[in-house]
Chain A
Amino acid sequence: MTTETREPQGREAARPPFYRDVRVIRVVGQLVAVIVVFGIAYWLVNNLISNMNRLGISTSFDFLLGPTNTAIPYHESFDIRSPVWQMTLVGIKNTFLAAIFGVILASIVGLMVGVSRLSENWLVARLATFYVEFFRNIPPLVLIIFFGFAVFTFGPFPIFSESWELKVPGSDNSFLIINNDRWGVPGFTATGSLVLFWAILAAGVVLAAYMWRRRTKHFEQTGQPHHRVLWFTGVVLVSLVVAYIASGQPLDMSWPVISENRRRVDGGFIANWGWISVTFALGLYTASHLGEIIRGSILAVHQGQSEAANAVALSAFQRYRFVVLPQAMRIALPPTINQYLNLVKNTSLGTAVGYAEITALTKTSVGNGRPAFQSFIIVMAVYLTFSLSISLILNVVNRRLQLESR
């Protein structure tokens, strides 16, 4: 009886006091950490708001509804009386344009450089090494400024009134207009509502993706050729035609044409020098990093894989396309995500060449008396959204690509 009552007491006594109990410390430690972090955040925000109130600085976002009052570079049709949020949208669009084309350029050049670095051809390998060492070691801001000034300001291109034009025979329209300020290529203009067009096209892309998976499954089950690229492209093209006709042909081909006073390029898709400088400088800069990532990833694929590919008589191209690169991509993807994110953030350097991206426009807007704090909160939110979207998409891809370990 006595022993029975004592035993639990003994166990109790054997336990360390609560302040040395690992289980307690663990929970309390985390609680404290959470409280400290939130406490500091609360204190900072509270401090900021009370200070702003004390100084009579507005903490509201009403300024977004007020007029912009400044012109946006290379957006001549932008009404300066439009509300500030429309200016913000233009900035977001421009940031997106620089980021997306930069990513595409960086990926293509980076892949080429990465593979070339490992080439057995002495010249190709050395050129790729030179490329990497050159671009990797120059700060992106310097590259952007250099691009803007070396290529456009002091570059070989003529001034606006003396633009080079590659004319469509028998008309004023051009295939290509080039000067030191902007380049024009053929594009499209909307003549009606595009909602139906995009809806049908989106449905087509979904269908194409479905076909891709079906063909893949078919191949896996039967071993017959899948032709999934062919199928995918075919479905997309057909849906493009269907969408165009079904929505009442809402798009017109538009050719760039130089205005009579030779100061405007009307129609077509027009690229301004700021955008070209930012896209190329950042694309080529990021490509040097991607090249190294891809080279490292290829080297990380086991030597035996290449040897096995050689053993079954695959050509060098086939060896890369079907054996080495698919495995290398798996390794390359996580660091590549980082590089893409860097590229997106680096577009904010476009302000150096007067490119009207979100940071540049916000700086101008703040300089003209809009509240700095709220304006930059919006800028932060924009970059965060861009970066998180890229992360999200690529992380999904990454998870799909990883080897399933069983």
Chain B
Amino acid sequence: MKITKLLAAFVALMLILAACSSDDDAAATTEAAADDNGGDDGGTTGGKLAAVIAADKIVCGVNDGLPGFGVVDDAGVYNGFDVDFCRVVAAGVLGDADKVEYKPLTADVRFTALQSGDIDVLIRNTTWTATRDGQEGATFLFTVFFDGQGMMVPASTGFTTLEDLADANICVLSGTTTELNLAAVFGARGIPFNSVVFEDNAQLNPAYQEGQCEGWTSDASQLAAFKSAIEGEGGEEQFIMAEIISKEPLGPVVSDGDTEWAQAVEWSVMATVQAWEFGLDSGNIGSYSGDNPNILNFIGTDNFNPGLGLPTDFAVQVVTQVGNYKEIFDRHIPAIGLQLEGSPNNIWTEGGLMYVPPYR
């Protein structure tokens, strides 16, 4: 008798539970379906580009602690090479370089922010790799900075090649592509070494300066920035080896699946290089009076419209408000000790890699 009652109670309970859960499921499914429809509708009516124009601002993921590329000053103003390219995109798409909302991101959350739609574009010294392209749902656009991993040693050591560092302690940030490169290159050449890993440069820098490691390996641009910082503070003179041991192409990144938005960002960015090639800069682009048809197309005379979804005068807005590539470079990069001449970041007509498709 008791058992039967117990069983009955149990079955009743299960039935109630089952009923509840199936209700929930049904509700959830309808909701999800509704969401899907909403998403699809948004997709067909212009996607990110339309959304950005409607919001009248661009949310840009940046670095806030890398001298030369992205720093935020005491007044909260963002500044740097990468930051200027956020402004380039805003000027190109919205006609106003100031319509940018900056989101400072750490290295490990940058792709999540992009995937979740928290940011419209990521310009944060991010290396283009196959894995990131394939697994992070990211689309890498025009490379605005050709970087590479280098090695810095105190100048007093007189070391000039990696072989000089046999058995030495080498400081490196943990979990970076730099760490992989270090092991791969030293391993391939049979140079024994010991890595001393740190989680951020604020810890690594003093350890290096106090001689806990003899070499510091990182992207050459970062090493240059720290070299000038160390020497500027009266520290020991530093030497960056000529040898570059990896390719680190850095550029803007958008999320997969929205070609229109990707094109708008890419052409805005490439306009800075095109202007440089044409000899146009922020001072003279507004007053161009020649009759080169390519330039006239570029600055939007005759309302030439290639159908990128950008205003016809976007190039003029980009260059007058932010500058051409060389102006942007000169504003930030020589200050951290890297020169344009002789680097891959020079224009193709002068032996560099800055080469953009024709605008016609």
Contact = CB atoms under 8 A, between A and B. Distances in A.
Interface of A: 18-19, 23-24, 27-28, 31-32, 35, 69-74, 76, 80-81, 145, 149, 152-154, 159-160, 180-181, 259, 261, 263-264, 273, 351-352, 354, 360, 363-364, 366-369
19 contacts: A18-B8, A18-B9, A24-B5, A35-B17, A70-B183, A70-B195, A71-B194, A73-B196, A74-B194, A76-B193, A80-B187, A149-B203, A153-B206, A153-B210, A159-B211, A351-B174, A351-B199, A354-B174, A364-B175
A32 B182 CA distance: 56
Contact of A181 (B10, B166, B212): B212
Contacts of B196: 73, 181, 354
Contacts of A154: 206, 210
A97 B180 CA distance: 26
A83 to B, nearest CB: 15
Nearest to A15: B2
A227 B12 CA distance: 70
A71 B193 contact: yes
B195 A71 contact: yes
Interface in B99-148: 108, 131, 135
B149 interface: no
Contacts of B264: none
Contact of B194 (A27, A76, A369): A76
Interface in B186-209: 186-187, 192-199, 203, 206-207
A364 B166 CA distance: 23
B140 to A, nearest CB: 17
Nearest to B170: A71
B173 to A, nearest CB: 10
B174 A364 contact: yes
Contacts of A363: 174-175
Nearest to A27: B6
Nearest to A262: B167
Interface of B: 2, 5-6, 8-10, 13, 17, 108, 131, 135, 166-169, 174-176, 179-180, 182-184, 186-187, 192-199, 203, 206-207, 210-212, 214
Given A70-B180, A70-B183, A352-B199, A153 B207 contact: yes
B210 A181 contact: no
Nearest to B192: A76
Across chains A and B, which 5 residue pairs bring their CB atoms closest together, nearest first?
Answer: A367-B175, A159-B211, A263-B167, A71-B183, A18-B5
Given A153-B206, A364-B179, A367-B108, 19 more contacts: A18-B9, A28-B10, A72-B195, A73-B195, A73-B196, A76-B193, A80-B183, A80-B187, A149-B203, A154-B210, A160-B211, A160-B214, A180-B210, A263-B166, A273-B212, A352-B199, A354-B197, A354-B198, A367-B176
A284 B241 CA distance: 43
A181 B193 CA distance: 14
B13 A32 contact: yes
Contacts of A76: 167, 192-194
Nearest to A57: B135
Contacts of A354: 174, 196-198
Contacts of A32: 13
A71 B180 CA distance: 8
Contacts of B195: 70-73
A32 B10 CA distance: 9
A73 B169 CA distance: 9
Contacts of B198: 354
A83 B346 CA distance: 42
A84 to B, nearest CB: 13
A160 B169 CA distance: 9
Contacts of A181: 169, 196, 212
B158 to A, nearest CB: 13
Contacts of A259: 167
A273 B131 CA distance: 35
A181 B206 CA distance: 14
B117 to A, nearest CB: 16
The listed residue with most A CB atoms (<10 A of its CB), out of B186, B187, B207, is B207
Contacts of A368: 175, 179-180
A369 B166 CA distance: 28
A73 B197 contact: yes
Contact of A24 (B6, B175, B210): B6
B168 A28 contact: no
A351 B194 CA distance: 16
Contact of B6 (A28, A71, A360): A28
Contacts of A70: 179-180, 183, 195
A91 B195 CA distance: 15
Given A181-B212, A264-B167, A73 B194 contact: yes
A337 to B, nearest CB: 31
A111 to B, nearest CB: 34
A362 to B, nearest CB: 10
Nearest to B8: A18
Given A153-B212, A180-B210, A354-B198, A360 B166 contact: no
B136 to A, nearest CB: 10
B180 A69 contact: yes
A193 to B, nearest CB: 27
B6 A180 contact: no
A357 to B, nearest CB: 12
Contacts of A19: 9
A369 B131 contact: yes
Nearest to B204: A354
B156 to A, nearest CB: 12
A273 B212 CA distance: 10
Given A71-B182, A80-B187, A181-B169, A28 B211 contact: no
A31 B169 CA distance: 60
Contacts of A145: 203
Contacts of A24: 2, 5-6, 9
B235 to A, nearest CB: 14
B127 to A, nearest CB: 13
A351 B196 CA distance: 11
B166 A261 contact: yes
A31 B8 CA distance: 14
Given A71-B183, A180-B212, A360 B174 contact: yes
Nearest to B115: A55
A80 B187 CA distance: 8
Nearest to A158: B211
Nearest to B209: A153
